Structure 1
Amino acid sequence: MITQRSMTKAAWQGAPRLVLRLLACTALFAASDAAAEVSTPVARTIFGSSEVVTFSVLIGVISAAMISAIWLIRQRGNIEAENRQLRSDLSDANQRISRFQALIADKSRRIVIWDGLAERPEFLGQLPIETGAPQEDRDFLAFGRWIKPQSASDLEKAIEMLRAHAQSFDLVLETQRNEVLEAQGRVSGGRAFVRFIALNNLRAELAELKLERDQLHTSLSTFRTLLDAVDLPVWQRSPDGKLEWVNEAYAEAVEARSPAAATAEGRELLATAAREKIRSVSTFDTPFRDKVSTVVRGNRTFFDVVDARSPAGSAGMAIDVSGIEAVREELARTLKSHAETLDHLATPVAIFDGHQRLQFYNQAFQRLWDLDMGFLERKPDNGELFDRLRASAKLPEQLNWKQWKANALSVYQAPDTQSDLWHLPNGQTLRVFATARPQGGATWVFENLTEKVDLETRYNTLVQVQGETIDHLAEGVAVFGPDGRIRLSNPAFRALWGVSEAEAKPGTHIRAVEQACLPSYDQPDGWKRFAHIITSFDDERPSSRGILELRTGLILDYAVIPLPNAQTMLTFVNITDSVRVERALTEKNDALRKADALKNDFVHHVSYELRSPLTNIIGFADLLRTPAFGELNSRQAEYVDHIATSSSLLLTIVNDILDLATVDAGIVELDLTEVKLLDLLDDVAQQMAERLVESGITLRIDAPDNLGGIVADQQRLKQIFIKLLTNAANFAPDGSVVGLTCRRDGSDFMFSVTDTGPGIPQDVLNTVFNRFESHGQRGGAGLGLSIVESFVSLHHGTVSIRSKEGEGTEVTCRIPSAEMPKIIAAE
């Protein structure tokens, strides 16, 4: 732009000379015109028509040039005016830049400018050296080095939000030298500016006050959070005595939903009289301190109340002291109880005060040293007591008595309990504990270890015996400690696993034992699981059992047994022979089960195949007895009767087998209906009448009129009655009575069938419900009672039998009433 304007100016500087030339030419042509007018005839003679045309064209060109010159002169004036304005604006701009530079160059502020996210920042100005801000640009942005951590963290987050989201900020920063800076972040023209200003005078004081306010607010919030966490009611009141703030414990004590609700509702913990007393007694210099009684959750409670006044109001705290008196009384009772307890202890105890004089001793102490009661009651000195015991030859013999006595009495200045073993001349061994008391003095406890030493001796002997016993056991035994290291193992253990004595020596870790046992067993459920159980930190250590089959062919029954002191014992028993026998028996049992299933299938199939021809035989026998097919003689009629009777009996047996087969298969479904019991009994009596008449047996039914009904399968229930009565008739002597007794027990139906037959021997009474078990000459196939038991069980009932030889048999059944099946009607 400057180059174009310079060129235009040069052109205008050459313009006057051109104009002067044009003016000269114009004057010349004007003079020529005047001469032409005077001497026109001459001109006409001198110039021809072509010269006139050329002259006219020249005059036109000169006129155009003059007009252009005038326009150019006017444009030159405009450009010069514009240049003057531009020079004025440039001067003003230079002055403003100088002023801004002077302002920025102030030592109390520094500006950092980012042009875009990836551009390096530009730095303007400096901060005072006393602020601790680095003077070098590369060190200035390391805020954590010269600004306190919290302020540096807030500043870095604010700059990140400024550059990424154009979010302005104003922060007050605190440097490592405790100087206060103000940071202002802005975005302008696509650039991010952060201005750091060193505050002074009023602004610095204001910033410091703001920081102090923030710190006070944080401290107040922290203290209130702490007071909310304690279980002591705390409150704050305004100068007029109105609650302004309470903690959680206060709200809980006054049964408010929250502290805010307690404040809003003005719920008071203390009574009005107590509050008035606090207000009248408390001063700015002397806070109120006294015990106040109030009611909390319906219970009378005593509080130690502390209430302090200030110009801004008052604050108080209540400490529940209701249990202090109770605790004090309990302490007195406890001390008395302890004294009585110590007096009855078998362990000798003596207590000396700060002056080393005897204050308490129990009966065991007096018996141990056999001291005179008068001597003990006058509260002798501890050193005097030792001298008395030494004179009586009751203390251990010492080469340097004074040194030993001084060491013993040094317990009064010792911070820790002192312990020592005293071997008395009478053969007793005492462990002596001497403990300095907090309030002065010392407590001496004498533990008689005579029996303990004897027990340890016997224990060591027992351990040796047990070790020898374990070494000679046939089962393998290994004991591991909680650190997984083996404590002991016997030869049987090493022989079963094929490990040497060196590989299983005490102290060997279970991992090493596992490696030694890998050739015999390398499954993960073996030694790895043992190692987990032995070295686990579970609170409960359950025992575990199992079977391992080694590569050597041995089968071991192992047991993991937890022992005291976090030890674990592994035992291994060689059960190879018994397992092999068990496997053989299992295989035989599986074969027997398959044979039993085959038998059931065979019986089921054959029973169905027998039913059809039996039905035909019975039908043809009935036809032969009808007169329509001719008369039969007496022998033929007798044979036909035998055929019919035998066929009917065989059909009954086949039906019984089919019933049992369906019960065993689990395909029997009860047809539950409402059964009227009296009608059922009448039907059973009619059906059994012919059979009983043949044997001359009388059926006596004992049933109440209000027997009612139950929900059951009527057909199966009828079969139960028929089977029981038939069984009773088979064993009852001719002319005897078979009894049927019925009653109700709640909703259950109970009935009993009795006979006066020979009874059942006790050795076979438990097998009467087994299938094909028949007792007596008229026992039949032995399926009747089995069917009864199956049908009663289908009804969820019970059946029992009671019999004695020579007195008859009684069978009792209990049938509970079932629920009618629900029928869902179609909508």
Structure 2
Amino acid sequence: MSGVTAVMRRTWLACTAMVRDGLVGIGASTALASCALAADDSPLTLAGLLDLDRQEIAALTTGGAVLGFSVVCAILLMRNRQRAARTETKLRNELHALQTEADRFRALLFTEPQVLVSWAAGDKRPDISGDTAIMMSQDPQTHQPQRILAFGTWLPPEPALRMDHAVDALLDAGEGFVLNLTTSTGRAIEAMGRAIGGQAILRIRELSGLRRELAEMTLRYRELSEESETLRGFANAAPFPIWARHADGKLSFANVAYVHATEASDVTDAVARNLELLDSDHRASLTRVLNDNQPFTARVPVVISGERRIFDVHAARIGNGSAGMAIDASEAAALKAALLRMAEAHRRTLDQLSSGVAVFDGQRRLAFYNDAYRRLWDLDRAFLDSNPDDSSVLDRLRAARKLPEQPNFRAWKTKLHEAYHANEAHKDVWYLPDGRALSIVTTPNPEGGVTYLYDDVTERLDLARRFDGLIRVQRETLDNLAEAVAVFGSNGRAQLFNPSFAKMWRLSDETLEQEPHIEMVETLCRPLFDDPAVWQTIRGAITSIDNRAPVPLKMERKDGSVLACMSMPLPDGATMLTFQDISDAENVERALRERNEALEAADQMKVDFVHHVSYELRSPLTTIIGFAHLLSDPTTGPLLSKQAEYLDYITTSTSALLAIINNILDLATIDAGAMSLNLGPIDIRKTIDAAAEGVQDRLVRDRIALQIDADPNIGSFIGDESRVVQVLYNLLANAVGFAPHDSAVTLRAARTEHMIIFSVTDRGPGIPPDMQDKMFDWFESHANGSRHRGAGLGLSLVRSFVELHGGKVRIDSTVGKGTTVSCEFPLDQTAHRNAAE
């Protein structure tokens, strides 16, 4: 223990003894001890006074004496004042020393341009020191320290935002940072933020020398690293293979697409195994080009996953190595081939067009023309194949007087060439000196240039003029027709009508001009004609899509008039309705129909009467013929010559009358459809002889020769022999009746592939043309020049029998030269009957 401590202890022990002996109280003892200590200038405090061992404290306590506490406090106060004065002096000295040291440190700190910004804990107001002018502009008015924290005033936007975020993180969470930035004036600075001693410190200093170079290198390194990562990320995200190689050709980098193309497991596997994308020939070609320091570009086939595809490979020498990429061009190659085929197809198509097509490129030179263009302007193919410019073509056409005459050709050509800078197509019509009219369309091409389309519209314009004329004529014709005409479109609306239609149906022009629907027209016309079925048919004819055919209708209106209606489908899908007032014709037709029915009834009555009378006459006639034969029989007795003559007349007349009656009965039977043929083989020669036998007496009496022209081997055909004989007999009888005396009648028979033709020719007076068709009618006889006064049934019976066989009869007659009647019989009656059935 030092000397001061020993003194203090001695003083304290003395005071303690006094207290223990009862000489003084504890307050006095304490005061004395304090004074003693103060006199010794000892820094002993009350704790020091109380630094007694337990025995001493116990002695003081047991003594029962207490020093006055007030005395002790007074002593302590005095001593503390003295000590405070000494401490203040000491602290002033220390503060002066610290200030000197701080000034020295500040001088050292700001030997380089920098700014310090500090924020005390809980205080948002910063303390700014340093040279703020290094960060601000040269304008003195802007040199305010507080503006240093307005980073956007002296930093670009992106660095200013980074500073804002870094300072906010420093103040809020005490996160430190170091940023290398460049000011708006191009200065390189370092911004450092730290939390020190409960304060946030921001130091901003300008970099120079090595530090600046280091900062720039660090920044450059960071930028290059980011750029490298970006490029690597892009390369890996690229859908086409990308790779890089060392100078020795070893693979140094490959992207995911390259790994997939080479069927490697990953990038490391592809690099380790040095997998190749191209085959050996293409790799050799690539290496050779790169060794010549030339970029390599080629379109090569590559097999990927067993599929052969086309890639555009691009590679280049980069530094000591090389890099390349392969872009899948399979689709592009296919599209290019398709485009070439399409272009060729378009070229062939354009060559087939009747329109002239000429395409000029961006340099105004002819890039394409079709054959119609060359023929339209009659230009030399060699000239066109030389790709002349637009002006040269126009000048040549103008020299040949093939362009429209222009007062200022240069201005006209300049205006024409404005199409090269236009955005839309332009149409025009050129009227050429040779009388042609050309429609020209100039269309600017998206890739530059112009396409000219030429159409010869001379004929079209002429047709348009004619069409307009025809339309006017048609309109005038329709307007002046007595028939009512209305045309309804495919939508069922009235498109065209004439005044007769409006007048016939009592419709106003205003109503029809509104193009009413057929249903509206029907409603307006119902007061005159109200037949739902007919109107339904008209609506169907107008609005139907299928089964468009003309539909004739008859309409008996309430006013007593009768209209003939016809719906006619038109080529454009419309339907034309025509209405004709046939009231008078209907009345006449009704009268004629009634008259015809009366005539048919009378004709039927005549046939019935003839048929009935013929049967009634046949019975007594048969009796007369029988008695005549009986009288002529010698067994009945001799007759006088006069009686024999009369009996001969009776026999001849009754035989003729019987023949007429038989003919009438045959015709009536045929007309009633009850006649049937007894078919069988017919010997043609025998049939001719049998018919000729029947007219022998007439031939002898009239001195007429019968000439038969038939092949002896003509053969036979199938038919009813008795009816064929009857036909030939009537033909011969008719010819003999018209043939003059001492003339000849010719009967010919000819055989063809399908027919037997009989013809009988006389040299009589002939039959006028207007009478030839009537010769086959009942009871019709051409008596002029004939010695025979028959009933006029012969040729009628001939035609009936021939047609019953399926043949036909023809008359060839010339007045004054004679007549030939020909009958054609078919060889095959079976085919005829099947056709008839």
Q: Residues 800 and 338 from structure 1, CA distance in 2 versus in 1: closer, same or farther, beyond 3 angstroms?
A: same
Can you list the C-alpha shifts for 1:775-801, whole angstroms capped at 9, x where unaligned?
223141111121112111111123333
Which residue in 1 is equivalent to 2:487? Answer: 479
Q: Residues 328 and 643 from structure 1, CA distance in 2 versus in 1: closer, same or farther, beyond 3 angstroms?
A: farther
Following superposition, the deviation at residue 813 of structure 1 comes to 2.4
Aligned pairs for 1:195-594 (under 5 A) are 285-287=305-307, 335=347, 338=350, 349-354=357-362, 357-360=365-368, 379-380=388-389, 393=408, 409-411=421-423, 418-422=424-428, 433-435=441-443, 441-445=449-453, 463=471, 466-538=474-546, 541-563=548-570, 565-594=572-601
Following superposition, the deviation at residue 661 of structure 1 comes to 0.5
Can you list the C-alpha shifts for 1:333-372, whole angstroms capped at 9, x where unaligned?
9737845x67xx6x664312255544346897999999xx
Kept after mapping to 2: 8 A contact 1:701/1:741: yes
Are residues 1:781 and 2:787 paired?
no
Aligned pairs for 1:646-657 (under 5 A) are 646-657=653-664
Kept after mapping to 1: 8 A contact 2:431/2:438: no
Following superposition, the deviation at residue 692 of structure 1 comes to 3.6
**Cα distance in 2 for residues equivalent to 1:366 and 1:708:** 72
Structure 2 gap ranges (5+): 1-300, 311-335, 832-837
Aligned pairs for 1:740-755 (under 5 A) are 740-746=747-753, 748-755=755-762
Aligned mate of 2:632, from 614, 625, 629: 625
Kept after mapping to 2: 8 A contact 1:712/1:818: no
Kept after mapping to 2: 8 A contact 1:434/1:442: yes
**Cα distance in 2 for residues equivalent to 1:544 and 1:755:** 53
Question: TM-score, normalization: structure 1?
Answer: 0.51
**Cα distance in 1 for residues equivalent to 2:470 and 2:693:** 83
Aligned length: 492
Which residue in 2 is equivalent to 1:793? Answer: 803
Kept after mapping to 1: 8 A contact 2:420/2:448: no
**Cα distance in 2 for residues equivalent to 1:715 and 1:664:** 19
Q: Residues 657 and 469 from structure 1, CA distance in 2 versus in 1: closer, same or farther, beyond 3 angstroms?
A: closer
**Cα distance in 1 for residues equivalent to 2:558 and 2:744:** 73
Residue identity matched to 1:335: R
Kept after mapping to 2: 8 A contact 1:383/1:405: no
Q: Residues 438 and 777 from structure 1, CA distance in 2 versus in 1: closer, same or farther, beyond 3 angstroms?
A: farther
Q: Residues 330 and 809 from structure 1, CA distance in 2 versus in 1: closer, same or farther, beyond 3 angstroms?
A: farther
Q: Residues 646 and 477 from structure 1, CA distance in 2 versus in 1: closer, same or farther, beyond 3 angstroms?
A: same
Residue identity matched to 2:451: T
**SS of equivalent residue, structure 1 residue 602:** helix
Q: Residues 562 and 760 from structure 1, CA distance in 2 versus in 1: closer, same or farther, beyond 3 angstroms?
A: closer
Are residues 1:660 and 2:673 paired?
no
Kept after mapping to 2: 8 A contact 1:396/1:425: no
Residue identity matched to 1:802: D
Which residue in 2 is equivalent to 1:606? Answer: 613
Kept after mapping to 1: 8 A contact 2:691/2:726: no
Following superposition, the deviation at residue 325 of structure 1 comes to 12
Which residue in 1 is equivalent to 2:772? Answer: 765
Kept after mapping to 2: 8 A contact 1:555/1:576: yes
Can you list the C-alpha shifts for 1:719-777, whole angstroms capped at 9, x where unaligned?
12222222233333445444333343346433333334444344433332222122223
**SS of equivalent residue, structure 2 residue 511:** coil
**SS of equivalent residue, structure 1 residue 710:** strand
Following superposition, the deviation at residue 597 of structure 1 comes to 0.7
**SS of equivalent residue, structure 1 residue 604:** helix
Kept after mapping to 2: 8 A contact 1:480/1:488: yes
Following superposition, the deviation at residue 525 of structure 1 comes to 4.0
Q: Residues 760 and 634 from structure 1, CA distance in 2 versus in 1: closer, same or farther, beyond 3 angstroms?
A: same
Q: Residues 700 and 508 from structure 1, CA distance in 2 versus in 1: closer, same or farther, beyond 3 angstroms?
A: closer
Which residue in 2 is equivalent to 1:15? Answer: none
Aligned mate of 1:712, from 686, 706, 719: 719
Q: Residues 420 and 554 from structure 1, CA distance in 2 versus in 1: closer, same or farther, beyond 3 angstroms?
A: farther
**Cα distance in 2 for residues equivalent to 1:807 and 1:492:** 58
**SS of equivalent residue, structure 2 residue 567:** strand
**SS of equivalent residue, structure 2 residue 513:** coil
Q: CA RMSD in A?
A: 4.8
Kept after mapping to 2: 8 A contact 1:487/1:506: no
**Cα distance in 1 for residues equivalent to 2:628 and 2:406:** 125
**Cα distance in 2 for residues equivalent to 1:430 and 1:353:** 23
Are residues 1:812 and 2:822 paired?
yes
Which residue in 1 is equivalent to 2:155? Answer: none
Deviates more, 1:556-565 or 1:374-383: 374-383
Kept after mapping to 1: 8 A contact 2:430/2:440: no
**SS of equivalent residue, structure 2 residue 512:** coil
Deviates more, 1:608-617 or 1:718-727: 718-727
Q: Percent sequence identity over matched residues?
A: 42
Following superposition, the deviation at residue 331 of structure 1 comes to 7.5
Q: Residues 550 and 648 from structure 1, CA distance in 2 versus in 1: closer, same or farther, beyond 3 angstroms?
A: same
Following superposition, the deviation at residue 817 of structure 1 comes to 2.9
Aligned mate of 1:615, from 607, 612, 622: 622
Residue identity matched to 2:360: F
Can you list the C-alpha shifts for 1:254-273, whole angstroms capped at 9, x where unaligned?
xxxxxxxxxxxxxxxxxxxx
Kept after mapping to 2: 8 A contact 1:396/1:424: no
Kept after mapping to 2: 8 A contact 1:358/1:382: no
**Cα distance in 2 for residues equivalent to 1:575 and 1:751:** 50
**SS of equivalent residue, structure 1 residue 484:** coil
**Cα distance in 2 for residues equivalent to 1:793 and 1:426:** 71
**Cα distance in 2 for residues equivalent to 1:561 and 1:820:** 45
Q: Residues 475 and 623 from structure 1, CA distance in 2 versus in 1: closer, same or farther, beyond 3 angstroms?
A: same
Structure 1 gap ranges (5+): 1-280, 291-323, 412-417, 822-827
**Cα distance in 2 for residues equivalent to 1:327 and 1:470:** 55
**SS of equivalent residue, structure 2 residue 510:** coil
Following superposition, the deviation at residue 662 of structure 1 comes to 0.6
Q: Residues 383 and 485 from structure 1, CA distance in 2 versus in 1: closer, same or farther, beyond 3 angstroms?
A: farther
Kept after mapping to 2: 8 A contact 1:488/1:506: no
Q: Residues 537 and 747 from structure 1, CA distance in 2 versus in 1: closer, same or farther, beyond 3 angstroms?
A: closer
**Cα distance in 1 for residues equivalent to 2:463 and 2:694:** 85
Kept after mapping to 2: 8 A contact 1:673/1:820: no
**Cα distance in 2 for residues equivalent to 1:659 and 1:410:** 96
Are residues 1:645 and 2:657 paired?
no
**Cα distance in 1 for residues equivalent to 2:468 and 2:768:** 62
**SS of equivalent residue, structure 1 residue 800:** strand
Kept after mapping to 1: 8 A contact 2:487/2:495: yes
Can you list the C-alpha shifts for 1:1-51, whole angstroms capped at 9, x where unaligned?
xxxxxxxxxxxxxxxxxxxxxxxxxxxxxxxxxxxxxxxxxxxxxxxxxxx
Residue identity matched to 2:639: L
Quick check: which has more Rg, 1 or 2?
Answer: 2
